[in-house]
Amino acid sequence: MSRLRLTELPAIEAVAAASWNALVGDDHPFLRHEFLHALEASGAVSPATGWTPRHLTLWRGETLVGLLPHYHKQHSFGEYVFDWAWAEAWEQAGGRYYPKGLSAIPFTPAPGPRLALAADVDPLAARRRLAEAWEAGELSSWHLLFAEPAEVAAWRAACPELIPRHGVQFQWHDRGYGDFAGFLGALTSKRRKAIRRERRRVAEQGLTLHRLEGEAIGDADLAHFFRCYQLTYLERGRPGYLNADFFARLRRTLPEALLLVQARLDGKPVAAALCLQGRRTLYGRYWGSEVLADGLHFEACYYQGIEHCLARGLSRFDPGTQGEHKLARGFAPCRLTSLHHIADPRLRAGVARFCAEERDHVEAYVAATQAALPLRAMS
């Protein structure tokens, strides 16, 4: 077999969408050409925002046979696996941490595939070929974030020097519930009553919930959602990472992946949550509200998503990062692993120690949250 040719692309539009998507498939919307192109074409991802695309691709002749999203980063915003302390320590020691290499989906802490290969490509050879991109010495480090467990294992086999870092998210899995009543029936009596009370309280405030999919999401719906999304960030003192053009492009090019949960008061939309969906998984991502209402966030961002999964036969609901409050609503802890290549041996040793110590805390946290999960079958 001829040696794979490694090429860095300065923009995703440098490769045809059909060629990219033929390797990616349709189960994970964030890796699709349309999603990544919307980020770049809208300007949300660009050198000006600290994200310089350097997508790594493998070719056999003129045929694309492998791809890995890759960026040169000038900061660590929008990643959700925090290495600010590493950067500060290294720069105080006289080193230069940025630019660094990053293989992840910008602003999207959703576990999923990162490397896509043609069926006849040797995965071990492909990973070793790709590693040449960050082993050349230009970058201080390379980071693989939110990859799936099988991919993490394959990378560690190909590149044993990669340092694993462990984390936790909360996800919902369908255990054969059938419908929302079946899901509630699997919970402890206390949690079942609490969820019913939360949902009832939303209705008592005059709020109604509506799920819009794909082309049913109109211009006004999207504009209202974006106002709500911006409000969420402005409450923290900064604008959102993503702009209106990004969401408009997404609706235009990837409508089948979109689910908009809209809350209305007297028929007028007042809050919204925008999710993406693949063939098996719903991903809760963006939320905002123009009103303060008891329980509305839980209803729009969690319970409506669970109902949607049960109605559409989706087996998993990833509602986003962080939040122990998800545990009480049936979302179980899920271990995550990121991988890190650190070029300088001094920094590498410090990062390895940090990650080893952090793992003990993560394992204790997972054990505690699993014990607290309010599923009757696990009590």
Structural domain contains residue 118: yes
pLDDT at 377: 54
Mapped onto helix, strand or coil, the DSSP state of residue 125 is helix
Q: What is the pLDDT of residue 62?
A: 95
- Pairing of β 141-144 and β 100-103: parallel
pLDDT cut 90: percent of the chain above it = 92
213 and 281 part of one domain = yes
Q: Tell me: do 200 and 306 sit in the same domain.
A: yes
187, 330 contact by CB (below 8 A):
yes
201 and 101 inside one domain: no
Mean local confidence (pLDDT), 140-163: 97
Q: Can you give the pTM of this predicted structure?
A: 0.95
CATH number (domain holding residue 214): 3.40.630.30
Q: Are the beta carbons of 136 and 74 closer than 8 angstroms?
A: no
pLDDT tens profile 47-77:
999 999 999 999 999 999 999 999 999 999 9
pLDDT of residue 379 exceeding 50, the answer is: no
Domain count, the chain: 2
Q: Report the share of the chain in percent with pLDDT over 70.
A: 99
202 is written with which tokens? 């939303």
Residue 322: inside a domain:
no
Q: pLDDT tens-digit profile of 176-187?
A: 999 999 999 999
Q: Under a CB-based contact definition with an 8 Å cutoff, are residues 9 and 15 in contact?
A: yes
In a domain, 81, yes or no: yes
Res 237: pLDDT:
84
Give the model's confidence band at 2: pLDDT under 50 very low, under 70 low, under 90 confident, else very high.
low
SS3 153: helix
The pLDDT assigned to 234 comes to 86
End-to-end CA distance of the chain: 54
Query: What value does the mean pLDDT take over residues 264-270?
Result: 98
Q: Is the pLDDT of residue 251 over 80?
A: yes
* 81 and 140 together in one domain: yes
Mean pLDDT, residues 153-175 taken together: 97
* pLDDT at residue 1 is higher than 60: no
Sign for the CA dihedral angle at 193, 178, 297, 209 comes to negative
Strands 163-173 and 332-342: antiparallel
Q: Do the domain assignments include residue 152?
A: yes
Work out the pLDDT band at 238, boundaries 50, 70, 90.
confident
Q: Is the pLDDT score of 25 beyond 70?
A: yes
Average pLDDT of 8-26?
Answer: 96
Per the structure, the complete domain to which residue 262 belongs is given by 175-314
Q: Do 358 and 165 touch, CB atoms closer than 8 A? A: yes
Instruction: Please report the pLDDT score of residue 236 as a whole number.
Output: 82
**One domain, residues 154 and 232:** no
Confidence of residue 239 (pLDDT cuts 50, 70, 90): confident
Q: pLDDT at residue 204 above 80?
A: yes
Q: Please answer whether residues 295 and 136 qualify as being in contact, where contact means their C-beta atoms are separated by less than 8 angstroms.
A: no
Are 163 and 200 found together in one domain? no
Average pLDDT, the chain: 95
Contact assessment for residue 68 and residue 56, using Cβ atoms and an 8 Å cutoff: yes
Residue 145 has pLDDT above 80, yes or no: yes
Q: What pLDDT band is residue 114 in, cutting at 50, 70 and 90?
A: very high
Cα angle value 350/76/351 (rounded, 5°): 10
- The predicted pLDDT at position 8 comes to 96
Regarding whether 189 and 272 lie in a shared domain, the answer is yes
Tell me, yes or no, whether 155 and 53 share the same domain. yes
Task: Indicate if the alpha-carbon torsion angle 183, 232, 104, 260 is positive or negative.
Answer: positive
Domain shared by 156 and 210, yes or no: no
| Per-residue pLDDT tens digits for 331-356 | 999 999 999 999 999 999 999 999 99
pLDDT of residue 171: 96
Question: 110 near 79, Cβ under 8 Å?
Answer: no
Question: Binning pLDDT at 50, 70 and 90, where does residue 106 land?
Answer: very high
pLDDT for 101 equals: 98
Mean pLDDT of the region 304-320: 97
Same domain, yes or no, for 276 and 345? no
The whole-number pLDDT of residue 378 equals 42
DSSP-derived secondary structure letter, 267: T
Q: Is residue 323 part of a domain?
A: no
